[in-house]
Structure formats: structure tokens, C-alpha cells
Chain A
């Protein structure tokens, strides 16, 4: 597509539920990144893929967070047993394999 597409744009869920956030990168982009942005802060790195391989997951805060990119295109970030502290804007970015990264509009996640 023309840009990075994230869905849903907004997600409200109850504490304890699982959520799945989707990212569709720019066509042909090899690298895909996930970031989390708390209110009043800059985005913080979560994880990174080259094609389907997860190259770095050191930014995932705990084992409730996981990500996959099975066919080297669309990626899903999953949060299990959500907690209120998981509320944030989740951003996806893609690149041709280096820099710069191109960002989607993000998913605003609110945990009640």
C-alpha cells in the first residue's frame, strides 16, 4: 500500500483480555518495527523484524507481549492478559532495510 496501515485505530478492552494489533507495512519493505508511546513521551522500541525473522525483541516489556510476521509482510503484536499499564499508543514502522523508518497512524489502546 501507499503507507503503513495499522488496525484498529482505537481499541478499548477490559483488563485481563487479550488484544491483537495489526500492522501492514509499505509494500516491499523488508524491515518492520513496533514501538510503544506513553502519553507525553517519545516512542520506545519494542521489537523488530527483517522479513519474517524477529531480529530483536529486547524491548518487549514482559512475556505477555509477543509479535509475529509469518510471511514477511503483515505483523501482529499480541498482548495477553492486558493490564492498565499497557494503555498506550502502539506504533508500527517499516523500511526498505535500513533507514529511514516510515510510521503508521498507530493504535490507541485503552485498558479499563
Chain B
């Protein structure tokens, strides 16, 4: 079945350490790719998106993600994590670029804990 996989349910890092959150998808074509962040009691905030072009995309809050077609991956990275980055992170996909149906397919999320 087609899916979006975030293999890490929970990640813990120390403040100042680097971070990589993994995302793999199983849709055949090159989809639209997104990372969203959900802080407690708040909605989903868009961190960054990939539509086309440069496979390394920059987002807000110092995050970046790299699209690797050969690995069907879109991993999220940050060189130095801040305590305020503690949240749940969701990878999302729109599988069919040609479709007028814009539904997002989400991974199950990765909960990030940051130690002081």
C-alpha cells in the first residue's frame, strides 16, 4: 500500500545537538513534499515544502530538508536544536502532481524531546 513512513516515533536530543528526522514515501511519481510541526495546544505549522528544483530546501526556524529521489526520502534536519523545538513533526505528501485533489497524506509523526 502507498504510504508515508516516519520510522522514529520518539527522538530525544540534547540542546545544541544536530537533528535528523526521517521520512520515506512509497508513491511512484515525484510528489509534493512537506514537513509540518505541531506544538502542544497549537495547530500544524508548515516548516518547509518541496515542489521542484533544488533538492535541498530551507524552511523556517533554521530547518532544512533534502529530497532524495533514489531513496524516496525527504529527511528533515537542523544543525543545532533549541529547547523550543520540542514538538511533534509530521511529514506529508501530495502524491499526484497532476491531480486537482490536494489531499495530504501524513506520516504518523515523530515526537521530539529536547534535553537542556
A residues within 8 Å of B by Cβ? 4, 31, 33, 35, 40-45, 48, 50, 55-56, 59, 91, 93, 95, 98-106
B residues within 8 Å of A by Cβ? 4, 32, 34, 36, 41-46, 49, 51, 90, 92, 94, 100-109
A48-B43 CB under 8 A given contacts A42-B107, A99-B94, A100-B34: no
For the A-B complex with A41-B109, A43-B104, A44-B106 known, give 16 more contacts whose Cβ atoms are closer than 8 Å. Answer: A42-B90, A42-B107, A43-B106, A48-B101, A48-B103, A55-B101, A91-B43, A95-B102, A99-B32, A99-B34, A99-B51, A100-B46, A101-B46, A102-B46, A105-B41, A105-B43
Min CB gap B88→A, angstroms: 9
Task: Tell me which residues across on chain B come within 8 A of A42, comparing CB atoms.
Answer: 4, 90, 92, 106-109
User: Count of A-B contacts with CB under 8 A?
Assistant: 62
Among candidates A40, A44, A103, residue contacting B44 with C-beta atoms closer than 8 Å: A103
